[in-house]
Amino acid sequence: MKKIDEYQGKKVLVIGFGISGINAAHLLVKLGANVTANDKATPKNNDIVDDLEADGIKVITGDNPISLANEGFDVVVKNPGIPYDNPLVAAFVKQGIPIITEAELGWQIFDGHLVSVTGSNGKTTTTTLTQLMIAENAKHQVKYAGNIGISFSKIAEDLGPDDTLVTELSSFQLLGAPTIHPHIAIITNIFSNHLDYHKTRENYINAKLNITRNQTKDDFLVINWDRDEWQKIAQRSQATVVPFSRLNKSHEGSYVEDGMIYWRGQEVMPTKDIRLIGPQNVENALAAIAAAKLSGVTNDAIKKVLTTFSGVRHRLQYVMGYQERLFYNDSKSTDIEATEVALQGFDRPVILLAGGLDRGYTFERLVPYFKKHVKAMIVFGECKDKMKDAGNQAGVPVIESENAITAVPEAWKLSEPGDVILLSPANASWDQFPSFEVRGDKFIEAVEELTGKKEQ
């Protein structure tokens, strides 16, 4: 951990009691700050409040009182998910008070080698693969943290100058990380996500590009080269651009040709040997390979990881096989693009479980994928009628169900040996579940109840 005095004697407000907020509050005390912690909700677990207060932190719960904007705070550390038009946050914006996220705080105290990953889809898998690959050859600690569910600042506290940290960073986190400077930055892809938060696609892109804003020509931007738009986005970086591509050959980076993965013209391994299924995971592997090779990782280490790693929970996760059916949990597919790539990963008939929060869009884009890959659909949630319309357009039988749990036995009734039963909702979970993780866990529980087996 790097010693800094930036917060010594400063009055700091932490808004939000998520994992990152709680860790940030405790860290700020160590850094000499006078800390107030605020959450709109009242925690059900009193231990959270007790621990904060025991560390000398003033705690305010049950509201985001606007009066806090008049208490002379020097810095605000905001939970990434709280929008900037939140009345309390907006009041600090109007005053010009610095508003950062815990990722910025983590960067400020980090004293090692930073690799950071962002993108619309594939962030967690790419982050995990990159960490595993670098760790295979490392003589020092290699950890991961960030949006993957582990506090950046908490892990950074325990790492030294020779250690490596691979961080998954969301657009929300990056908006509040003005000085972050990874040596290697990865952009997996950019679609049109979170426009309810960012308002426009350009705002969303700009937030993602914060990952490379402070990079120089001595740093590297590893970026997907499969779309013209992404190639143009790369021109906005000062870093050395390293492309990865499943569709376009480029000797400057990692790419696929005739079923073989290459790094700068040298063979690495066949794509068929990657344990993770689907074209999206080939792309995730290519991104991780580029970062690993830039970090000096050997081909043998890369092969070991890619031939053994079976996936991140909720991201096209293989759950189990039962009576010649295969169950997959892809609850993290909260947008159309993620479900598109999930469906392309299967050469077996798919019974698709889909639906969720209605964000106002329709699903015509999925019709060709339904026609090619899906034998039946179970739809649920706020947007089930729109999802049903797309299924009808594709000529696929559609059944309505209450949610992703009740859909499991319905899917089983429709299935035959050789089928895949896939939860890939193409929508957020918030109409029925607090998170995609809870939705995926409940799906797995329903599969276990149906089969009498535990997930593999």
- The CA-to-CA distance between both ends of the chain, in Å, stands at 38
Residue 25 parent element (H or E)? helix 19-30
Lookup: tokens for 444: 């797995």
**Cβ atoms of residues 345 and 281 within 8 Å:** yes
- Is residue 125 annotated as involved in ligand binding? yes
Residue 164 parent element (H or E)? strand 164-168
- Is residue 154 annotated as involved in ligand binding? no
Q: How far is residue 105's CA from residue 424's CA, in Å, rounded to a whole number? A: 35
- Is residue 122 annotated as involved in ligand binding? yes
Phi, psi torsion values for 40, nearest 5 degrees: -65, -35
Nearest residue to 118 (alpha-carbon basis) of 43, 213, 217: 213
**Cβ atoms of residues 239 and 307 within 8 Å:** no
- Residue that the structure tokens 């970026």 belong to: 223
Residues paired with residue 322 on neighbouring β-strands, in sequence order: 325
Lookup: tokens for 64: 């985001």
Q: How far is residue 293's CA from residue 26's CA, in Å, rounded to a whole number? A: 36
Strands in 149-188 per DSSP E: 164-168, 184-187
**Cβ atoms of residues 261 and 269 within 8 Å:** yes
- Is residue 119 annotated as involved in ligand binding? yes
Phi, psi torsion values for 51, nearest 5 degrees: -65, -40
- Is residue 120 annotated as involved in ligand binding? yes
Produce one character per residue of 16-25: b if its CB has 16 or more CB atoms within 10 Å, e if not. Answer: bbeebbbbbb
Strands in 231-369 per DSSP E: 240-245, 254-257, 260-263, 266-270, 317-322, 325-329, 350-355
Q: Which of helix, strand or coil describes residue 123?
A: helix
Produce one character per residue of 257-280: b if its CB has 16 or more CB atoms within 10 Å, e if not. Answer: eeeebbbeeeebbebeebebbbbb
The count of other CB atoms within 10 Å of the CB of residue 91 is: 17
Q: Name the binding residues.
A: 119-125
Q: Name the binding residues for ATP.
A: 119-125
